[in-house]
């Protein structure tokens, strides 16, 4: 059957590649850094420029489509996923990596209809790896099919996670309790690429068995969530059950077995949801400042 979203996905891949070129060019110059919800939640002019580039290009081609974009939400736009065709955009996932030229940064474009992700594009632009997935049609990296690892023993797994950008000591304590529990399972190792989407693409590629994080946003994980499931992986909430992309909690694993072991191991908590009213999202403007790197 003809794919109704084929040309839409082709456009997403083309615009992700173009956005990646802008990101790589910017790495060769100065980067003006500002902070958002905390002193370590960074944003640069390149994040904003790339998001505008993607949104403009999509608006011209698909004028009725809607958007959820990291920087648009930071600027006060709503973060509601309706049934309408919606582009979920993270212009640079791994902004801290970008600021430090740590080489894992990704342009993420998810596309959802009826609240279901139809395709996902994650472009790791420094590595020049284009990860794509179309619902029901598999996941690929530069056109090669992806398959999760077949290792089901968590004791022989590598688990990826991140520390996020919340420095509330109570939150940091919970993150460290989880990390301690995971290390003591024991696992072969813990890794973190500095980008939620890249960690999830590592799960899809079979390099790590699982990734978990509490504190991610819908734009970090929407595109990559389909890449994981189409590569044969499993998505689960940190307390078990289905993942809610707005909940800011995710386990992406190679199997139900590994995901369920992590559910028993992680210390769960609930940050304010992405679709909460802006006043409940705890944005703290006292951290706003700009500096060049």
Instruction: Give the bridge partners for 134, in sequence order.
Output: 119
The answer to whether 233 contacts ligand IPD (rule: CB under 6 A) is no
Nearer to ligand IPD, 120 or 215 (CB): 215
Peptide bond between residue 226 and the one before it cis (omega within 30 degrees of 0): no
Q: Closer to ligand IPD by CB, 187 or 216: give it.
A: 216
Distances (CA, A) of 265 to 175, 177, 181, 185, 187: 11, 9, 6, 8, 12
**For residue 44, what are the β-bridge partners?**
33
95 part of the interface to ligand IPD, by CB under 6 A: yes
Question: Residues 118, 209, 220, 274: which binds ligand IPD (CB under 6 A)?
Answer: 220
162 forms part of the interface with ligand IPD (CB under 6 A): yes
Q: Among residue numbers 98 through 157, which ones bind ligand IPD (CB under 6 A)?
A: none
For residue 286, what is the DSSP state?
Answer: G
Half-sphere exposure of 226 (CA within 13 A, CB side): 28
Residue from the set 93, 118, 209, 274 that interacts with ligand IPD by CB under 6 A:
93
Using left for φ > 0, alpha for ψ between -120 and 50, and beta otherwise, residue 124 falls in beta
Pick out residues in 168-207 that bind ligand IPD (CB under 6 A).
194-196
Catalytic residues: 70, 90, 92-93, 95, 220
* 265 class by beta-carbon count within 10 Å (0-12 exposed, 13-18 middle, 19+ buried): buried
Give the nearer residue to ligand IPD in terms of CB position, either 233 or 271: 271
Which residue ranges make up the site for ligand IPD (CB under 6 A)? 70, 90, 93-95, 162, 164, 194-196, 213, 215-217, 220
């Amino acid at each position: 059957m003809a794919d109704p979203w084929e040309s839409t996905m082709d456009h997403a891949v083309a615009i992700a590649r173009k956005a990646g070129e802008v990101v790589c060019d910017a790495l060769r110059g100065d980067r003006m850094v500002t902070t958002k919800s905390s002193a370590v939640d960074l944003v640069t002019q390149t994040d904003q420029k790339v998001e505008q580039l993607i949104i403009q290009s999509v608006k011209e081609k698909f004028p009725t489509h809607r958007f959820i974009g990291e920087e648009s939400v930071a600027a006060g736009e709503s973060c509601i996923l309706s049934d309408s065709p919606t582009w979920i955009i993270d212009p640079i996932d791994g902004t801290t990596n970008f600021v430090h030229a740590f080489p894992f940064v990704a342009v993420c474009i998810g596309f959802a209809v009826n609240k279901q992700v139809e395709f996902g594009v994650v472009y790791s632009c420094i590595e020049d790896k284009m990860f794509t997935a179309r619902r029901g049609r598999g996941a690929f990296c530069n056109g090669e099919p992806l398959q999760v690892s077949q290792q089901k023993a968590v004791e022989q797994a590598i688990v990826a996670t991140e520390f996020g950008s919340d420095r509330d000591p109570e939150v940091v304590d919970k993150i460290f309790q989880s990390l301690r529990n995971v290390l003591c399972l024991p696992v072969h190792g813990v890794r973190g690429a500095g980008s939620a989407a890249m960690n999830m693409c590592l799960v899809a590629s079979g390099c790590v068995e699982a990734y978990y994080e509490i504190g991610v946003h819908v734009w970090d994980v929407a595109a990559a969530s389909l890449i994981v499931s189409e590569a044969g992986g499993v998505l689960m909430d940190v307390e078990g059950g289905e993942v809610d992309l707005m909940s800011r909690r995710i386990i992406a694993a190679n199997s139900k077995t590994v995901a369920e072991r992590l559910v028993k191991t992680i210390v769960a908590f609930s940050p304010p949801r992405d679709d909460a009213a802006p006043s409940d999202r705890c944005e703290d403007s006292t951290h706003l400042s700009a500096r060049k790197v």
